[in-house]
A = this chain, B = another copy of it.
Amino acid sequence: MTDVLDVLLSHRSIRRFKTDPIPEEDLLRAVSAGQQAATSSNIQGYCAIRVTDPDVRAALVPLTGGQAKVASCPLFMAICGDTRRHRLLAARAGEDYQSNLEGFMLAVIDATLFAQNMVIAFESMGYGTCYIGGLREDLPAVHEVLRTPEGVWPLFGLCVGLPDQEPRRRPRLETDAVLFDDRYPSDGEVLASIDDYDRVMHDWYRSNGIDTPDWSARIRQHFAEKHRTRNAAWYLGAGASFD
- Which stretch (A66-74, A160-168, A218-226) binds chain B? A218-226
Q: Is the CB of B184 within 8 A of A147?
A: yes
Task: Decide if A64 is an interface residue (CB 8 Å cutoff).
Answer: no
Q: Is the CB of A183 within 8 A of B147?
A: yes
Q: Is the CB of A8 within 8 A of B121?
A: yes
Please give, as numbers and ranges, the residues of chain B lying within 8 Å of A103 by CB-CB distance: 223, 226-227
Task: Decide if A243 is an interface residue (CB 8 Å cutoff).
Answer: yes
Task: Using A1-B124, A109-B112 as known contacts, say yes or no to A182 and B102 having CB atoms under 8 A apart.
Answer: no
Please give, as numbers and ranges, the residues of chain B lying within 8 Å of A101 by CB-CB distance: 228, 231-232, 235
Task: Decide if A50 is an interface residue (CB 8 Å cutoff).
Answer: yes
- CB of A143, distance to nearest CB on chain B (Å): 11
Q: Which of A155-184 contact B (CB under 8 A)?
A: 155-156, 169-170, 172-173, 175, 178-184
Work out how many copies of this chain go into the complex.
2
Task: Using A4-B7, A28-B175, A35-B173 as known contacts, say yes or no to A228 and B99 having CB atoms under 8 A apart.
Answer: no
Residue from A9, A184, A227 having most chain B Cβ neighbours under 10 A: A184
Q: How distant is the Cα of A102 from the Cα of B223 in the complex, in angstroms?
A: 11
Please give, as numbers and ranges, the residues of chain B lying within 8 Å of A3 by CB-CB distance: 1, 3-4, 124
Contact of A227 among B88, B90, B93, B100 (CB under 8 A): B100
Q: Which of A22-76 contact B (CB under 8 A)?
A: 27-29, 31-33, 35-44, 46-53, 56
Beyond A42-B215, A42-B218, A242-B242, 5 additional contacts (C-beta under 8 Å) are A8-B36, A11-B37, A43-B219, A95-B224, A232-B242
Report, nearest first, the 9 A-B pairs whose CB atoms are least far apart: A4-B124, A8-B33, A112-B112, A1-B124, A101-B232, A35-B172, A102-B228, A116-B116, A3-B3
Q: Which residues does A use to contact B, with CB under 8 Å?
A: 1, 3-5, 7-11, 13, 27-29, 31-33, 35-44, 46-53, 56, 77, 82-90, 92-93, 95-103, 105-106, 108-109, 112-114, 116-117, 119-121, 124-126, 129-131, 133, 136, 146-149, 152, 155-156, 169-170, 172-173, 175, 178-184, 187, 190-191, 194, 215-216, 218-220, 222-229, 231-232, 235, 242-243
